[in-house]
């Protein structure tokens, strides 16, 4: 049985084993993976640039998304 501790998650990649609907550890696995790879979780991209398309999730890509969104 799994519990979604992060109901606020806007990540749409439900097949990802790190997605909070696929285990009972909330954001922890996602954050740990992002930290290891110097990436930003998709929930931050979805907030900063909801209409953007993205291939990469590195710090630099997030900075570009924020600047591009103009917010």
Binding residues for ligand SF4, per CB under 6 A? 6, 9, 11, 20, 27, 30-31, 41-43
Nearer residue to ligand SF4 within complex by CB, 9 or 65: 9
What letter would DSSP give residue 39?
A: B
Residue 35 vs residues 29, 32, 59, 65, 70: alpha-carbon distances, Å: 10, 5, 10, 19, 26
Q: How far is the CB of 71 from ligand SF4 (least distance, A)?
A: 19
Nearer residue to ligand SF4 within complex by CB, 16 or 64: 16
Q: How far is the CB of 31 from ligand SF4 (least distance, A)?
A: 5
Q: How far is the CB of 47 from ligand SF4 (least distance, A)?
A: 9
Tell me how crowded residue 52 is: count the other CB atoms within 10 A of its CB.
13
């Amino acid at each position: 049985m799994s519990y979604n501790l992060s109901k606020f998650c806007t990540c749409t990649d439900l097949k990802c084993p790190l997605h909070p609907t696929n285990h009972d550890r909330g954001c922890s696995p996602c954050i740990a993976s992002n930290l290891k790879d110097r990436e930003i979780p998709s929930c931050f991209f979805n907030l900063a640039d909801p209409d953007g398309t993205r291939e990469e999730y590195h710090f630099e890509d997030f900075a570009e998304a924020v600047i591009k969104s103009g917010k």
